[in-house]
Amino acid sequence: MTEPPIVVNHHAGRPGFAGPVGTLFAVVFLLTGRGNARLAADVAEVSADDRVVDLGCGPGTAARVAARRGARVTAVDPSSAMLRVARAVTRRRTPVTWVRAGAEALPLPDASATVVWALATVHHWPDVDGALSEIHRVLSPGGRLLVVERQVRPDATGLAGHGWTARQAEAFAALCTSAGLTDVRVTTQGHGRRAAWTVRAVRPSAT
């Protein structure tokens, strides 16, 4: 008997972060997202040479970390509430462009990013294959994708289920390969309640 496919966007059907609820969650994410932001910038080795696209940027914590390291940043989120908070807490001259959009339809030029990352957001994407196609398009040859998701138990439900099991992390890595990305790696960062999966991949260089 064939096993059902492993779903990596198991929270895609949940309500989005709109209105007052979205603003409340934006404030929560401001208080809780610093660890992932620093992790992403370190693992991706962000520098002043980079053009970073932050998918599902929320209140912009990771975007600001990348900007402080000299990168030019485009921060993308489908929630106007998230973007409103992000703009409000970001200094005016910070080199971040805020864009309201989903990962599946990015209003960005081809090959315009050296780094694309998604921090604790893939499990919400409505269309993972479509998003990976867009990421491949937006990345320049040799550009890097980084995805970070919290490690969760297979039987986790509710808020505890916001993240990935080991099988989900590996399933997403396989989707990256199918989308034409190479050098796909799944690793563990942190430990205990702070443990997270990182999935890294590269758009192949032009031949």
pTM over 0.85: yes
96: left (phi over 0), alpha (psi -120 to 50) or beta: beta
**What's the confidence (pLDDT) of residue 128?**
97
Q: Which residue ranges of the chain lie beneath pLDDT 50? A: none
**What's the confidence (pLDDT) of residue 198?**
97
**What's the confidence (pLDDT) of residue 58?**
93
Which residue ranges form the domains of the chain, and what is each CATH number?
19-150 (3.40.50.150)
**What's the confidence (pLDDT) of residue 30?**
76
**What's the confidence (pLDDT) of residue 43?**
95
Q: 89 φ, ψ to 5°? A: -100, 5
**What's the confidence (pLDDT) of residue 11?**
76
Contacts of 193 (CB under 8 A, 6+ apart): none
